[in-house]
Structure 1
Amino acid sequence: MKNILIIGGSYGIGLELAKELQTENNVFIASRTNENLSGLDITYIPFDATTDTLDTSILPAVIDGLIYCPGSINLRPFRGLKLETFESDMNINFFSMVKVIQNLLPQLTASEQASIVLFSSVAVKMGMPFHTSVSASKGAIEGFAKALAAEYAPKIRVNVIAPSLTDTPLAEKFLSNEEKREKSAQRHPLKRVGTTGDIAQMASFLLNEKSSWISGQIFHVDGGMSTLLVNS
C-alpha cells in the first residue's frame, strides 16, 4: 500500500480525496482540525500549515503521494487591497506549501516515484477582475511546480489542478443562495458548479501509477471555462 499525505484534509476536496484513497492506501491527514474525520481509516496529525513545522519523524520513512490543499479566495478590487492581503495569500497558498515540501524531501525521494499534487485556479490562465491577490499566489504555484518537476524527474512527479469555483466550505459565500449558484453555473460551458468529487477524482488519478508518465502539467478541471466559449 502507498503512503499518502494530505495537508488540509478535514473538509472540502481534501476530505473527499481521503474518502477516495483510504481503502487502498495508508492515508495521513495533517490539518488544523480532525472534524469530519471520524469513521475514516486514516491517521490524523494536528498541523497548521501557516504556523507549524511538520514533524516528519511521526510519518513513514517513505511518502509516495503528497497533496497540499490549504488555500484562500480573496476577491476584491485591487485599489482596496493592502499589501498584507497579498502577503497572507502568498503565505497560505505558496510559502507554507514550499516549507512542507522541503521538509518532506527525504521521504518523497525515498519513494520509487513519488507524486505531488498542488492546486491553482482557473483565474491564473484567464485573467479575472478582482483576482489579483489570489492569482498572484496561485500563479507562483504553477511556475514552481513546473520547475520542481524538472529538477526532480524522474524521482518525483509534480502536477497542478486548476479548478474553477468549486462547491467547498472555502467557496461558501460565493454559493450561499440559489441565485448565486445558478449565475455561477451559467458562466461555465458545462452549466454547473464543480463538486469536490470532480476535483478529487483528478487528484486520485495523478497519485496513481496510471499517470506515471505525466509530470509538470497544469490540469484545468473547470467545466470548460478556461478554453470554451459559453453558449448564449
Structure 2
Amino acid sequence: MNTIIVVGGSKGIGYSIVTSLLSSYKVVNISRTQPKINHENLTHYSCDVTSGELPDIDIADGLVYCPGSINLKPINRLKIEDFKSDFEINVIGAVKAIQKYLPILKKGNNPSILLFSSVASKLGMPFHASVAASKSAVEGLTKSLGAELAPTIRVNAIAPTVTDTELASKLLRNERMIESMNERHPLKKFLKPDEVSDMATFLLSKKASSLSGQVFELDCGIVSFKL
C-alpha cells in the first residue's frame, strides 16, 4: 500500500483529501491540529509547517501540500506583513515540505507532488492582491519543479474556485451571499470539498501518470467562460 504525506489535512479541502485516501493509501497527516477521524491507515504529526520542524518519515509515494489563506483586503489596507504571511503559508511552506521529503519521494512508487493554487491567479478580482500573488508563485513552482523532477516525480496543482469550507465561511455566511456566489459561476454552483479531493486522488494515482506541470482549474466555469 502506497503512502501519501498530506500537509494541512485537519480541516477543509485537506481533511476531505485525507478521508478520501484512507481506503487505498497509508496517510501521514502533518498539521497543527489532529483530524477528527481515527483510522488504521492514518498517522498524525502535530506541526506548524511555517515555524516547526517537519517530522522525519521513512517512506512516501506522494506529497500533498494544502494549507492556504483567504486574506481579502483593499490594497491600501494590506500590510507588507500580510503579503509575507500569505507567501510563507502558500509558497515557503510548500518548498520546505518538498525539500524535506524529496529524498524519500525519489524512491517512491509512481511518486507525485500536489500543490494548491486558486482561480484568483487567473481571474483578476478586487481585494485578492495578496492571495493571488502567492498562489501565482505556486503555479510557477509547479511548472518549474515539474520540469526539474521529470521523469521521476510528477508535480501538479489544483486551482479551485470558492469551496464550501471553514476557510471560505466569510464569503458564504448567509443565503444571499450563497445565492450570489452560485450566480457568479456559469455552472450555477461552487465547489464542495469532495469534488476537490476526487481530483486530488486522481492526480496522485497511476491513472494520471502522463500528467505533470499542470494546473487544473476547478472553476465551475468562472475562469473559462464569459456568459
- Normalising TM by the smaller chain, what interval? over 0.9
Matched, 1:161 2:136: no
Q: Give the corresponding residue for 2:38.
A: 38
SS, match of residue 100 in structure 1: helix
Asked whether the equivalents of residues 25 and 41 of structure 2 are also in contact (C-alpha less than 8 Å), the reply is no
TM-score, structure 2 normalization? 0.97
1:151 and 1:218 map into 2 onto residues whose CA distance is: 16
Opposite residue 31 of structure 1, the aligned amino acid is S
1:40 Cα deviation after fit: 6.7
Please state how far the C-alpha of 1:121 moved relative to its aligned partner.
0.5
Tell me by how many angstroms 1:20 deviates. 1.0
* CA distance in structure 1 between the aligned counterparts of 2:18 and 2:89, rounded to whole angstroms: 21
Q: Which residue type is aligned with residue 80 of structure 1? A: R
Report the secondary structure of 1:191's partner residue: coil
1:191 alignment counterpart? 188
What is the TM-score when the length of structure 1 is the normalising length? Answer: 0.95
Alignment match of 1:177 (pick from 174, 182, 206)? 174
Does 2:10 correspond to 1:3? no
Structure 2 counterpart of 1:206, which letter? L
**Residue by residue, what CA displacement relative to the aligned partner does 1:171-190 show, whole Å, maximum 9, x if unpaired?**
11111111111111110011
The residue aligned with 2:143 is 146
Where structure 2 has 5 or more consecutive residues not aligned to the other structure, the ranges are: none
1:227 maps to 224
Give the RMSD, CA atoms, in angstroms. Answer: 1.1
Secondary structure of 1:174's aligned partner: helix
Cα pair 2:3 2:61 within 8 Å, conserved: yes
Q: Give the alignment of 1:105-120 within 5 angstroms.
A: 105-120=102-117
Task: Give the deviation of 1:96 after TM superposition.
Answer: 1.1
CA positional deviation for 1:132: 0.5
Q: Determine the structure 2 residue equivalent to 1:82.
A: 79
2:45–2:55 CA contact under 8 A, matched in 1: no
State how far apart, in whole Å, the 1-side matches of 2:217 and 2:105 are.
Answer: 25
Q: Are the aligned partners of 1:65 and 1:115 in contact in 2 as well (CA < 8 Å)?
A: yes
- Which secondary structure state, in structure 2, belongs to the residue aligned with residue 9 of structure 1? coil
Contact 2:2–2:109 (8 Å) recurs in 1: no
Mapped partners of 1:76, 1:96: distance in 2: 23
Distance 2:91 2:218 in 1: 20
Stretches of 4+ aligned residues off by more than 4 angstroms: none
Stretch of structure 1 that moved more, 63-72 or 35-44: 35-44
For the residue of structure 2 that corresponds to 1:126, the secondary structure is coil
Counterpart of 1:9, as a letter, is G
Name the count of aligned residue pairs: 227
2:28 is matched with which residue?
28
Matched, 1:128 2:119: no
Contact persistence 1:10–1:37 (CA under 8 A): no
Tell me which amino acid in the other structure corresponds to 2:132.
S
Q: Tell me the distance in 2 between the aligned counterparts of 1:27 and 1:63.
A: 9
